[in-house]
Chains A and B, each alone.
Chain A
């Protein structure tokens, strides 16, 4: 099993460009989430999903969109990239929602917006 797979690993965008960060899991997990981590800081929740067709906002949702059309995939879209979105993005999944089961993390996408 691959676990949680994120692509790409690295990305450089110009201000105003849009892109989609891909996340896929093969563990049949219902719960998926996106976090961003800025240097020297903890993770901040962007969006999460408790199942296919259901998404909700986290702590810092502005500038990001998500959708969950299948159990396996949870892409994160940056609508119009800004330098403040320079960060490392982590996708995670768990069997159950919230903190009731461990999160499995991908290896992250390092995004730079110039």
Chain B
């Protein structure tokens, strides 16, 4: 079974708006990562947040982590059409060597 569940499954916004995606997971973790996948391509790493961190920023990306709720969120500010992609969270299930991915959020940014 997949460790992470993203919410929503699909999101459509206007260029310039903010996009928020959520990820919930089931077990204890050491780290959580977010990835982007453009259609038909390999995944690209966006940001890594460790279990002792609560928030991390990278450019227009902001990630939060709440280990008590076993959840994380990815905020993309001032979205652009080029942000159209699928976004996945991934965690080390039970703090193991396995990196398990969620089912993803498909983001469409309309020009």
Contacts and interface: CB of A to CB of B under 8 A. Distances in A.
Interface stretch (B12-20, B30-38, B63-71, B76-84): B30-38
A105 B103 contact: no
A106 interface: yes
Interface in B86-100: 88, 90-92, 95-100
B2 A44 contact: yes
Contact of A99 (B43, B44, B91): B91
Contacts of B29: 99
Nearest to B100: A45
Given A98-B95, A99-B48, 10 more contacts: A41-B103, A42-B2, A42-B88, A43-B101, A99-B32, A99-B90, A102-B45, A105-B42, A105-B44, A108-B41
Interface of B: 1-2, 4, 29-33, 35, 40-45, 48, 88, 90-92, 95-104
Interface of A: 4, 31, 33, 35, 41-45, 48, 50, 56, 58-59, 90, 92, 97-108
10 contacts: A41-B103, A41-B104, A43-B43, A59-B98, A90-B43, A92-B43, A100-B92, A102-B48, A103-B90, A105-B42
